[in-house]
Structure 1
Amino acid sequence: MGRTMGLDYGDKTIGVAISDELGWTAQGVEVIRRRKPEDDMERLRQLSAEYGVTNIVVGLPKNMNNTVGPRGELCIAFSESLRESLRLPVSMWDERLSTVSAQRTLLEADVSRKKRKQVVDKMAAAIILQNYLDSNSKR
């Protein structure tokens, strides 16, 4: 069946999550510090191969009124280059509240500010992926 990779694409980082083989649960695996687009793609290619990824979900930040702003346009462009580079199907998933949700969970768990900064992107990717997996399992 293959695994699904979830990505939280940000200005400075890309949070990465991977599903289990059955496509039920999402686990944050890495935060890529963005350098050059080629380097980012290469790392994503390595992770895809390592985990046997067969499709990818990228969080699409929308405005609360459901429109796509500049940040969303960047994510769409990233998704298209990802599809071309990795030759895998790429879906977009509305991620409006994923980072907020990740931060709230970390705050409730009383994780220090420094530690939160290190894991929030990875956790946001896991939330995006988990929501995507949950919606697909209901079909």
Structure 2
Amino acid sequence: MSCVLGFDVGTRLIGVAIGNRITGDARALTVVPMRDKVPDWEALDRLMRDWQPQALVVGLPLALDGSRQPMTRTARRFGAELRTRYGINPDFADERHSSQEAAQRFARQRKAGLKRRRDGAKVDAEAAAVIVETWLSGLPPTPLS
């Protein structure tokens, strides 16, 4: 059980990241469009088929004080749709500050010449990587055998 797909759900895009429970790391993968509050399920179907994750993690947007906000319901609904569609019960991870961390990472990578301005569209995928890393850091170590 090593492959994890993570999602940062927004109103226009869903950032997607891949994580590994054995190594404890994650990386940005792609963004999937939302049209009229409906995800591009064909794109998500392809990601599920290609990566065959054993776990799913959805970022849970909370206000700074930890209370719910309007996007909290959207993320929970997306998680329920994932469960229905793929038969995997997703975990939810607090995503407070994930977007800021993703933006800072992007800025550092641009400064180092590793990213270009046009790569900015994938900041949501980087936020998903932060969410997966947060979730992975709270898990007990996975045995290698």
Same fold (TM > 0.5): yes
Q: How many residues align?
A: 137
Shift of the 100–21 alpha-carbon distance from structure 1 to 2, 3 Å rule, reads closer
**Contact 2:21/2:136 (8 A) holds in 1:** no
Report the AA paired with residue 62 of structure 2.
Answer: K
Give the aligned partner of residue 19 of structure 2.
19
Aligned counterparts of 2:108 and 2:21: Cα–Cα separation in 1: 29
Deviation at 1:46, TM superposition (A): 1.8
1:3 Cα deviation after fit: 0.9
2:127 to 119, 124, 127: 124
How far, CA to CA, are the matches of 2:136 and 2:23 in structure 1?
6
Unaligned runs of 5+ residues in structure 2 are none
Residues 85-120 of structure 1: per-residue CA shift (max 9 Å, x gap): 11112011100100011111212333554432x120
Do the aligned residues in 2 keep the contact of 1:13 with 1:121 (CA within 8 Å)? yes
Q: Provide the alpha-carbon RMSD of the alignment.
A: 2.0
From the two aligned structures, give the one with the greater helix fraction: 1
Q: Does the C-alpha gap of structure 1 residues 73 and 33 become closer, same or farther in structure 2, counting only changes over 3 Å? A: same
CA distance in 2, matches of 1:23, 1:32: 25
Q: 1:91 to 1:60 in 2, by over 3 A?
A: same
Give the aligned partner of residue 53 of structure 1: 53
Instruction: Name the TM-score, length of structure 2 as normaliser.
Output: 0.84
Alpha-carbon spacing, 1:43–1:115, altered in 2? closer, same or farther (3 Å): closer
Q: What whole-Å deviation, never above 9, does each CA across 1:62-101 have from its counterpart, x for those lacking one?
A: 0011111111111111111111111112011100100011
Equivalent in 119, 122, 126 of residue 115 of structure 1? 119
Are 2:136 and 1:136 aligned? Answer: no
The TM-score, its normalising length taken from structure 1, stands at 0.88
**1:1-139 aligned within 5 A:** 1-20=1-20, 22=22, 24-35=24-35, 37=38, 40-109=40-109, 110=111, 111-116=115-120, 118-137=121-140
Cα displacement string for residues 28-60 of structure 1 (whole angstroms, at most 9, x for unaligned residues):
1111122363x6233222211211201100001
Q: Residues of 1 paired with 2:102 and 2:73: CA distance?
A: 23
Give the share of equivalent positions with the same residue, in percent.
28
| Matched residue SS, 2:138 | helix
